[in-house]
């Protein structure tokens, strides 16, 4: 019996040694992202249920494949570099997650690897708000990162991206949002409560050089404009709560604003069709086509309602070209290639919807379960 037990032990040891010889040690690696395409989608998610730990989701908008995620801290404001190679996130961290020592920084991430490349300390004044496109913008020459502040006084932090340091703070009392000039890198505009645009010029060290205001072009009580804007060159477009479209030229020292035209005709007005959402419009610049999120039955307070339809307009002729199903869109962005796609966040069902945004716009597909409370989309 003793010899039998010894034999069994010996056989077991031999089998274990053989199995061990066949097993390969697992090696952990980090996969690299595929080369970016015009439809790599960056989705900023403020993550309401754990707001101290926001997210930015990276998705392949063609293959509908989730690629990765960046942490954006507490109410982080994200924006891409002009060449799409870096992502900047102006955010806040606390040493004990929700309390303790506060640190405010601009995090810099490599968009190819999603690796953290560094950080730039900034004053603890950046707006902790729903992520809007105009809360953090890069100047047209790539020199400056401009970050909206609210203490609650309004100002803009100017960050030198070449020197990788905070440069200056520019007070913008009574004005909100950042609209960079596309022709002058040292110039940006901000939308003011008195119905004007204020253009601000920076010195080479980022400090204030000059201010110029446009003529008054909207009434904030009767028909305010949304803070979201889109541009073709240095003509920047704003849509009002009642559906008027304004264009402002920022190529000169003083903003020049054109007379508006209406997106809604008499029949639309009778049904109270109005724009709504957060990032509520997109422009395909090569074709000068405008896409706007619209809903019927508009009333006081409905300006953030999700879209029942998305309307497509020719910016030159002012003609409506198409009406697409809205899929509850509250935010949208469009690629700038010859065969563009429009991406829109579905506020009710989650995820995002994809449209063919070419000459014959149409719904294509959707991807669900991306993010928790996203409100901002970006493409390279």
Does the residue 282 lie in any domain?
yes
Q: Strands 65-80 and 54-60: what pairing?
A: antiparallel
Which residues, 6 or more positions from 169, have their beta carbon under 8 angstroms from its beta carbon? Answer: 123, 125, 149, 155, 156, 157, 158
pLDDT for 24 equals 76
pLDDT for 53 equals 94
Nearest to 197 by CA among 159, 158, 143, 234: 234
Which residues, 6 or more positions from 53, have their beta carbon under 8 angstroms from its beta carbon? Answer: 47, 71, 73, 74, 97
Does the residue 225 lie in any domain?
no
Q: State the sign of the Cα–Cα–Cα–Cα dihedral 169, 166, 229, 280.
A: negative
Does the residue 8 lie in any domain?
no
Q: Strands 165-171 and 154-160: what pairing?
A: antiparallel
DSSP H or E run through 109? strand 102-110
CA dist., res. 84 & res. 79, Å (int):
9
pLDDT for 35 equals 85
Domain count, the chain: 1
Does the residue 291 lie in any domain?
yes
DSSP calls for 129-192: SS--GGGEEE-TTS-EEEEEEESSSEEEEEEETTTTEEEEEEE-TTEEEEEE-SS-TTEEEEEE
Does the residue 228 lie in any domain?
no
pLDDT for 34 equals 86
Which residues, 6 or more positions from 143, have their beta carbon under 8 angstroms from its beta carbon? Answer: 160, 161, 162, 185, 186
Nearest to 361 by CA among 325, 307, 330, 317: 325
Q: 3-class SS at 26?
A: coil
pLDDT for 73 equals 96
Task: Point out the residues of the chain with pLDDT beneath 50.
Answer: none
pLDDT for 5 equals 57
**Domain region containing 336:** 263-380
Residue 52: is it exposed, middle or buried by C-beta count within 10 angstroms (0-12/13-18/19+)?
Answer: middle
CA dist., res. 257 & res. 359, Å (int):
29
Q: Tokens representing 332?
A: 């949208």
Does the residue 354 lie in any domain?
yes
Cβ-contact 59, 68 below 8 angstroms: no
Return phi, psi of residue 20, to 5°. -65, -35
CA dist., res. 237 & res. 261, Å (int):
11
Which residues, 6 or more positions from 126, have their beta carbon under 8 angstroms from its beta carbon? Answer: 77, 90, 91, 92, 104, 136, 147, 148, 149, 150, 157
Does the residue 371 lie in any domain?
yes
Does the residue 290 lie in any domain?
yes
Q: What is the CATH classification number for the domain harbouring 267?
A: 2.130.10.10
Sheet holding 102-110, edge to edge: 116-121, 102-110, 86-94, 65-80, 54-60, 40-45, 374-378
Sheet holding 208-213, edge to edge: 175-180, 187-192, 197-202, 208-213
């Amino acid at each position: 019996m003793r010899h039998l037990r010894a034999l069994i032990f010996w056989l077991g040891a031999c089998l274990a040694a053989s199995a061990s010889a066949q097993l390969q040690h697992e090696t952990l690696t980090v996969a690299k992202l595929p080369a970016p395409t015009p439809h790599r989608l960056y989705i900023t998610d403020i993550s309401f249920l754990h707001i101290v730990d926001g997210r930015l989701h990276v998705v392949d908008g063609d293959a509908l494949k989730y690629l990765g995620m960046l942490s954006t801290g507490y109410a982080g404001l994200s924006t891409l570099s002009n060449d799409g190679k870096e992502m900047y996130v102006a955010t806040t961290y606390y040493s004990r997650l929700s309390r303790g020592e506060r640190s405010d920084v601009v995090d810099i991430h490599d968009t190819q690897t999603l690796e953290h490349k560094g950080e730039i300390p900034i004053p603890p004044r950046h707006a902790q708000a729903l992520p809007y496109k105009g809360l953090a913008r890069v100047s047209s020459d790539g020199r400056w990162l401009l970050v909206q502040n609210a203490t609650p006084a309004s100002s803009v932090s100017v960050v030198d991206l070449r020197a990788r340091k905070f440069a200056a703070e520019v007070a913008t009392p009574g004005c909100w949002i950042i609209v960079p000039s596309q022709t002058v890198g040292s110039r940006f505009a901000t939308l003011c409560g008195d119905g004007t645009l204020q253009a601000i010029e920076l010195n080479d060290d980022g400090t204030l050089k000059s201010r110029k205001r446009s003529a008054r072009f909207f009434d904030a009580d009767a028909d305010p404009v949304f803070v979201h804007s889109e541009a073709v060159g240095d003509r920047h477009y704003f849509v009002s709560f009642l559906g008027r479209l304004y264009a402002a030229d920022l190529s000169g020292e003083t903003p020049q604003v054109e007379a508006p035209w209406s997106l809604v005709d008499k029949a639309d007005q009778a049904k109270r069709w109005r724009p709504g959402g957060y990032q509520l419009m997109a422009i395909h610049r090569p074709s000068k086509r405008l896409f706007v999120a619209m809903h019927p039955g508009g009333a006081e307070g409905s300006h953030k309602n999700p879209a029942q339809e998305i309307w497509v307009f020719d910016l030159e002729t002012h003609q409506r070209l198409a009406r697409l199903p809205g899929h509850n869109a509250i935010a949208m962005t469009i690629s700038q290639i010859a065969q563009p796609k429009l991406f829109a966040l579905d506020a009710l069902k989650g995820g995002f919807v994809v449209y063919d945004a070419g000459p014959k716009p149409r719904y294509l597909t959707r991807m669900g379960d991306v993010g928790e409370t996203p409100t901002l989309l970006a493409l390279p």
